[in-house]
Structure 1
């Protein structure tokens, strides 16, 4: 199956094929929901999505997974090396020895992805080394421009669109934000362990909560109604962003719509899971039940089949029209 994807995408160089496979493995291992949705794309477009995810994951791992084993200066140096390799790869095709950088640089060239999106992404990754909380939602949104909005913007040329790009971009950016806000809600406890709070400080204060209260709840395993109120409101804000993103799905290439619809439903389902679990994100990680994931995936497969049948019918009608005109 992976060979078919690479062949369909026209990726022939052996080393580059290996680079893309590395990214695919990262997606399969760390991005279960994202990977499942990606399976609904036409094979030719999947490697590019894996490359974008793999690079984002690699940078995120430098910031997060090394946080307990490396000094801040070491993580800063690792990000600088990654950024330098990426800039070289985007500008001159010299992506160095890192497989995920070679793959993402190749994807950026194939799909003419704006290099500024990667610059903004790396800026947000650097801020995670120093910034540990956000005063309000506008401050958090400025961070999420680089960490989430640009991911949606990078994806847009890969997915394809049937409206002018500038019309589809705000919705693509909003979906990236909705996904990240969902992750923030699900991972409150894990982020707190890393010293970071993505729940805006003014939202916490409005419900008489703060970092100390979150730490107390995390340490004792005891819930608190003030924290629950914060989480409820943040979930409501997240659902509002999903509604901003929703009109963008019909703007995509029809064969890409089932993928993004499935990802949106599954990620939105995490919010439902958090509520179902009693807003206990400081004490456990909520997940969409396997049966629900299977039903959503099946619906996506049905939509894929219908979209591809319509596309094939359109191509056949086009061929007939050409023959008749001739």
Structure 2
């Protein structure tokens, strides 16, 4: 399957094929819901999406290295080296780094704005020094680089039937909604890393502070004040999903089933959080397999129908960001 995807994407160089394969491994290992949705893309699109996700995961693994012997200073130094290698690769279009090589190739093929990667690295550095965010606007500043730009990076791969400037805000909202969903699901795990991604003013409005969160985590208990704060942010996240969903018809038809399914699955995480009365402090919410299957099967049928009609897709090399198609 991987060989067919790389052939379809016109990735022929052996070293580059190995780089894309590594990115695909990272996506399959750590982004199970996301990886499942990418199966609905055309084989030609998948390597690029894996490259973008693989690089993001690589950087995130530096920030959250599981080995406690790796100091904060060392993590910062590794991020700086990664950033320098990335900038050099984006200038030259190549790299010997096992993940950056695929990313640089994808950036060239799809003419992705290099600023998106700079913004992403800025947010990764923030994770080393920022443990909480005072307001939602402060959090949005962080999420611009950690989530919104991911949607903007992927947009040229998906292709659009609307001007890119119109589709871009919806793609950015999709990235933010996904990340907020992860923040809500992972409150307890993030607290173990001494981070709180729920805005402090939102928590304070419900009488929640770090000590209460720690108590809930330690004693595996819920608290009504925490549940209320989670419920409010979940409502905000649903509104952002609504904005993101309005961008789906702006995508190239063959890309829509993938994004629709990702939306459905991630919103399903919110549903499960609310179904458990927002018990996020001591358990990681997942979407049941049956629900995943019910979301995936209709999307597979739509994808098969589009491919049966041999819906064309623009040539990748030299394509412009968010290529507008007839």
**Equivalence for 1:111:** 110
5+ residue gaps, structure 2: 314-326
Structure 1 vs Structure 2 CA RMSD: 1.3
In structure 2, C-alpha distance between the alignment counterparts of 1:69 and 1:188, rounded to whole Å: 24
Alignment of 1:184-223 (within 5 A): 184-223=183-222
**Equivalence for 2:175:** 176
After superposition, give the CA deviation of every residue in 1:281-325 in whole Å (9 maximum; x if it has no partner).
1100010000111111101101112323445499xxxxxxxxxxx
In structure 1, C-alpha distance between the alignment counterparts of 2:5 and 2:94, rounded to whole Å: 24
Alignment of 1:44-83 (within 5 A): 44-66=44-66, 68-83=68-83
Q: Helix, strand or coil for the counterpart of 1:44?
A: coil
Contact 1:20 / 1:50 at 8 angstroms: preserved in 2? yes
**Equivalence for 1:284:** 283
Which 4+ stretches in 1 moved above 6 angstroms?
none
Q: Helix, strand or coil for the counterpart of 2:128?
A: coil
TM-score (norm 1): 0.94
TM-aligned CA distance change 1:273 to 1:69, over 3 Å = farther
In structure 2, C-alpha distance between the alignment counterparts of 1:69 and 1:110, rounded to whole Å: 39
**Equivalence for 1:37:** 37
In structure 2, C-alpha distance between the alignment counterparts of 1:313 and 1:259, rounded to whole Å: 17
| 1:86 correspondence with 2:89 | no
Q: How many residues align?
A: 313
In structure 2, C-alpha distance between the alignment counterparts of 1:209 and 1:78, rounded to whole Å: 35
In structure 2, C-alpha distance between the alignment counterparts of 1:72 and 1:313, rounded to whole Å: 48
In structure 1, C-alpha distance between the alignment counterparts of 2:208 and 2:115, rounded to whole Å: 37
In structure 1, C-alpha distance between the alignment counterparts of 2:157 and 2:302, rounded to whole Å: 19
In structure 1, C-alpha distance between the alignment counterparts of 2:42 and 2:138, rounded to whole Å: 37
TM-score (norm 2): 0.94
Q: Helix, strand or coil for the counterpart of 1:209?
A: coil
1:94: how far off? Answer: 4.4
Contact 1:67 / 1:194 at 8 angstroms: preserved in 2? no
**Equivalence for 1:144:** 143
Considering Cα pairs closer than 8 Å and 6+ residues apart, tell me whether 1 or 2 has the greater RCO: 2
In structure 1, C-alpha distance between the alignment counterparts of 2:185 and 2:67, rounded to whole Å: 19
In structure 1, C-alpha distance between the alignment counterparts of 2:69 and 2:48, rounded to whole Å: 31
After superposition, give the CA deviation of every residue in 1:55-76 in whole Å (9 maximum; x if it has no partner).
0000011111347331110000
| 1:7 correspondence with 2:43 | no
After superposition, give the CA deviation of every residue in 1:160-196 in whole Å (9 maximum; x if it has no partner).
0001100100000000000000000001001000010
TM-aligned CA distance change 1:279 to 1:216, over 3 Å = same
In structure 2, C-alpha distance between the alignment counterparts of 1:125 and 1:232, rounded to whole Å: 27
Contact 1:6 / 1:47 at 8 angstroms: preserved in 2? yes
| 1:21 correspondence with 2:21 | yes
**Equivalence for 1:270:** 269
5+ residue gaps, structure 1: 315-326
